[in-house]
Structure 1
Amino acid sequence: MNIDKIKTLGELKRSGYKSISVKDEIRKNLIESIRNKENTFKGIIGYEDSVIPDTERALLSRHNILFLGLRGQAKTRMARQMTDLLDEYIPVIAGSEVNDDPLHPLSKYAKDLIAEHADETPITWLHRSERYGEKLATPDVSVADLIGDIDPIKAANLRLSFADERVIHYGIIPRSNRSIFVINEIPDLQARIQVALFNILEEGDIQIRGFKLRMPLDILFVFTANPEDYTNRGSIVTPLKDRIQSQILTHYPKTIETSLEITEQEADILEDQKSLITISDLVKRLIEQVAFEARNNEYVDKKSGVSARLPIAAMENAYSSAERRSIRNNEQHTQIWISDLVGIIPSITGKIELVYEGEQEGPYQVAVNLLDKAIRSQFITYFPNPETLKKRRTTGKASQAERENDNPYKAITKWFDAGNHIDVMVDAKDADKINALYKVDGLYGFVKKYFPHANEKENALLMEFVLHGLAAYSLISKKVIEGKIEFKDLIGSMMNLGQMNYNDDDDDLNDDNFR
């Protein structure tokens, strides 16, 4: 259909155009998309066998939809992509505030215009990108915001009584007629506002300050909600919930691989950062693992959830940490080290809600602990599990010869037990970090045994990872202080800490004597 040539109602009729409801329109285009084996929701990863099929069934059934899930689960993004299932253009009465269908007008304005001009009534064409309305539900949202109100200024200017439909200033929902309308966090709406919505869905009429107007709006409603909101901040009133025909449960990525794919797609990494900085699969997995650890951590509020935006922001910060270090050291190329992940802590603290015990621990310390737990979890996918070795020694199930030879970390821990230590400076040059790591006896040989084909920088990164892993399993100690990470033997660190506490007690005694 050549829309450039169709400017009036008469021309539209002669073209053979037939109008259908927005839900039928989406159904028609979705059927075509499925038939052509097209990806209905582009860029939505991890929902291929769960949320997307459920959503497609709901749309085929011409249902209003409720997406129920924790924050950062692409609920609003799914809704916004539904506009791709609309026809590219639809005709509307020119000047209509509610996108009146020329063949089935709703408003008095459109009906009067057609009565006056008949087939010469002017029409315009509305693109699908303009057929989307969205409102974040907050307790202060009013009926006037969503549905409309009587406009006394309009009444005065047009010299109309308040009983005339033309004095109504339409809210965002009527203006979204023949469109998709989304209300995010629906439980936050006051119950009386929800009842007003129910009236639109069920009865097809609008009530404004006692002014009842029959207007069967043509809208696909999509609502989103967090399960926790049902008890904490409110609930969906039963009549409205009953009118939402499909409730679809969303979820977080179920595997590291899915989470990696999402972060790769969403992280905003500049091309000059990519050309300057290399990031290993190991570091990527550590960043993703932080989110998985947070979702199961006792200090993090599970009901609030941990958004997929956490690893995305953390990835961006990891690149920026390495970039800042390379700029300071005037290096032309670098990689992201484990020590650079100190820089992702602000990304973690800003994306987690803590329970009371977590608040007592402190957001920074919780973030540090999550990073250590991520290292601990990923460590055993690259190297032997130190915990298993400990159990074999303590249970006595291994022979004497096995006990002597079954600890691949022995040479490394022995070096620290001899009183040696290593300081890895967070902002040090790559060459200085590598030189420091090579001082640890047995570390290079251990990594080469398991990764014989690693190049020099990969090998150095794995060497650093081993130290962090041994610290996470309490075989050596790790302390982050003023821009450096200090690795020492565990017993010596504990004795030094005890001596410091003892000296503090002595100081307290001396203070008492002085007083």
Structure 2
Amino acid sequence: MNIQHIKTLGELKKSGYQPRSIKEEVRSNLIEKIRNKENPFTGIMGYEDTVIPDTERALLSKHNILFLGLRGQAKTRMARQMVDLLDEYIPVIAGSEVNDDPLNPLSKFGRDMVVEHGDETPVQWLHRSDRYGEKLATPDVSVADLIGDIDPIKAANLKLSFADEKVIHYGIIPRSNRGIFVINELPDLQARIQVSLFNILQEGDIQIRGFKLRMPLDILFVFTANPEDYTNRGSIVTPLKDRIESQILTHYPKDIETALMITEQEADVPQVQKEIVQVSELIKRLIEQVAFEARVNEYVDKKSGVSARLSIAAYENAISSAERRSILFREKHTQVWISDLTGIIPAITGKIELVYEGEQEGPYQVALNLLDKSIRTVFSQYFPNPDQLKKKRNTGKRSTEEKEPENPYRAITRWFDAGNHLDLLLDMKDEERVAKLYQVSGLHAVVKKYYPQANEQETTLLMELLLHGLAAYSMLSKKMIGARIEFKDLMGSMMNLNQLELGEETDEPDGDDYQS
């Protein structure tokens, strides 16, 4: 029933309007969505069987909620989407700071308006988007910010005593009455400030500077917290945690497919980049795998977490690397090559927290190692695992009829063993890169053996994957020297390394080398 044309309290009474508490309102609208098989949390992926059902159960129970999880797990997004479970409009007394219900005003201002104007009390309609409050908990947040305080300037202007309720300046929580209020990073809130929330959560009332003030606020509270904060910066005081009825654990995507969908949805890729740069499924999987590798890597602090923002930023950087190259060489179309993934290093180093050993290794080196581990993992999904081939050759005795397992990479490694090497510049024309790849004997043949239907663009990308993958499995040597990647035979590189250790001169170029 559309009753937004109502402008006075008398008209509201005649309409038969019945107010509901915020939690009853959310519960009722959620029930309707569940019956209609509508997802109340659109765009949240990977939580369909875990966090979303837990949240729905909490809201049906009319609970306040604590989302507990590591960084980048959509905790705040979940909270913000709860606004869609509110009624589109609710009536409030016009001019009320605390969204007074015309039929049951809380504040002195609201009560005085009803006494003074009766059924002519003016009513305005508040949209659900205005019924959401959010505060980032920081150590400098005060009780006055959250709850309120006496305003001496208001007292002076109105010539009122400090004992008069009209001199109170309400904080953000009372101003969120009849709405949803979110406190992000709750453990960062000082313990004495957390204590001020006790009464609000349990009894719904507030206390300001000793006023005998009872305001049964009607608020759905949502808190977010990172488990790491319990030891690093602070903790949630036990009585407060006890008053938050439902604690819901969030998590990172459990599989690559979900992670791919999240990155695709969240990445900000301009249309002009989409028209110039093509991103293959292979590249997308390599980028996602970096985040999965980081979450289990010994050099990365697991308690701090690795946000989904790593994959999103890396994806954007990879496309920009290819776009920059196309601008340099005036190419109208290109694709993201594996060599372009060196451009995602800044997106990795800024998104991971390292343990002591990782700090010793250095963030740049750790990022390179993560990228190599990603290539190693994804390589085995496209081509036979070199380690498995070695195991088959070395396991048990064979009969005279049983053949030694075929090594599909023999022609490639032999080409390098013959003293050949390949240099791929980070910035080079696509046609030059393709020509370089075709120089390596056996590279094209292996791709066509396993992917006979691949087009030219897919084939050359898989040829490049072969080089990087064999280097990741220590069948080739890969070095990053300045703005180029050098592939050589592994044994020759090891001999050169031994010569360097013995103090002998080699023809190796100077520079910061990366040996995979």
Q: CA offsets per residue over residues 233-282 of structure 1, 9 Å max, x none?
A: 22211211111111111110000000001111111111111111111111
Whole-angstrom distance in 1 between the partners of 2:497 and 2:401: 35
Structure 1 contact 205–212 (Cα < 8 Å) conserved: no
Structure 1 residue identity aligned to 2:197: L
What does residue 383 of structure 1 align with? Answer: 383
Query: Is 1:188 paired with 2:197?
Result: no
Kindly report the root-mean-square deviation, in angstroms, between the aligned alpha carbons of the 2 structures: 1.5
What does residue 488 of structure 1 align with? Answer: 488
Whole-angstrom distance in 2 between the partners of 1:236 and 1:398: 64
Structure 1 contact 206–212 (Cα < 8 Å) conserved: no
Summarize the alignment of residues 122-141 of structure 1 with structure 2, pairs less than 5 Å apart.
122-141=122-141
Deviation, 1:203, is 2.6
Summarize the alignment of residues 90-109 of structure 1 with structure 2, pairs less than 5 Å apart.
90-109=90-109
Whole-angstrom distance in 2 between the partners of 1:26 and 1:455: 53
Whole-angstrom distance in 2 between the partners of 1:170 and 1:490: 71
What SS does structure 2 have at the residue aligned with 1:306? coil
What SS does structure 1 have at the residue aligned with 2:133? strand
Unaligned runs of 5+ in 1: 507-515
Unaligned runs of 5+ in 2: 507-516
Deviation, 1:187, is 1.1
Query: Is 1:357 paired with 2:361?
Result: no
What does residue 209 of structure 1 align with? Answer: 209
Deviation, 1:426, is 1.1
What SS does structure 1 have at the residue aligned with 2:314? helix
Structure 2 residue identity aligned to 1:471: A
What does residue 513 of structure 2 align with? Answer: none
Structure 1 contact 68–225 (Cα < 8 Å) conserved: yes
What SS does structure 1 have at the residue aligned with 2:381? coil
**Range 207-216 or range 431-440, more displaced:** 207-216
**Range 472-481 or range 200-209, more displaced:** 200-209
**Structure 1 pair 201–161 and aligned structure 2 pair: CA distance change class (3 A):** same
Deviation, 1:227, is 1.3
What does residue 24 of structure 1 align with? Answer: 24
**Structure 1 pair 148–268 and aligned structure 2 pair: CA distance change class (3 A):** same
What does residue 119 of structure 2 align with? Answer: 119
What does residue 439 of structure 1 align with? Answer: 439
Structure 2 contact 92–100 (Cα < 8 Å) conserved: yes
Whole-angstrom distance in 1 between the partners of 2:412 and 2:353: 38
Deviation, 1:401, is 8.1
**Structure 1 pair 401–352 and aligned structure 2 pair: CA distance change class (3 A):** farther
Structure 1 contact 286–374 (Cα < 8 Å) conserved: yes
Whole-angstrom distance in 2 between the partners of 1:402 and 1:191: 72
**Structure 1 pair 225–504 and aligned structure 2 pair: CA distance change class (3 A):** farther
Deviation, 1:304, is 0.5
Deviation, 1:396, is 5.0
Structure 2 residue identity aligned to 1:385: N
Structure 1 residue identity aligned to 2:33: S
Whole-angstrom distance in 1 between the partners of 2:438 and 2:30: 60
Whole-angstrom distance in 2 between the partners of 1:318 and 1:402: 46
**Structure 1 pair 292–319 and aligned structure 2 pair: CA distance change class (3 A):** same
Q: CA offsets per residue over residues 6-38 of structure 1, 9 Å max, x none?
A: 111111111111100000000010010011111
Whole-angstrom distance in 1 between the partners of 2:92 and 2:86: 15
What does residue 150 of structure 1 align with? Answer: 150
What SS does structure 2 have at the residue aligned with 1:248? strand
Could you tell me the percent identity over the aligned residues?
Answer: 77
Deviation, 1:427, is 1.0
Q: CA offsets per residue over residues 386-440 of structure 1, 9 Å max, x none?
A: 0111223334545688675521111101111111100111111110010000010
Whole-angstrom distance in 1 between the partners of 2:154 and 2:101: 24
Structure 1 contact 279–335 (Cα < 8 Å) conserved: yes
Whole-angstrom distance in 2 between the partners of 1:404 and 1:287: 35
TM-score (ref. length: structure 2)? 0.96
Whole-angstrom distance in 2 between the partners of 1:472 and 1:270: 33
What does residue 511 of structure 1 align with? Answer: none
Structure 2 residue identity aligned to 1:463: M
What SS does structure 2 have at the residue aligned with 1:138? coil
Deviation, 1:366, is 0.5
Structure 2 residue identity aligned to 1:223: F
Deviation, 1:231, is 2.3
What does residue 69 of structure 1 align with? Answer: 69
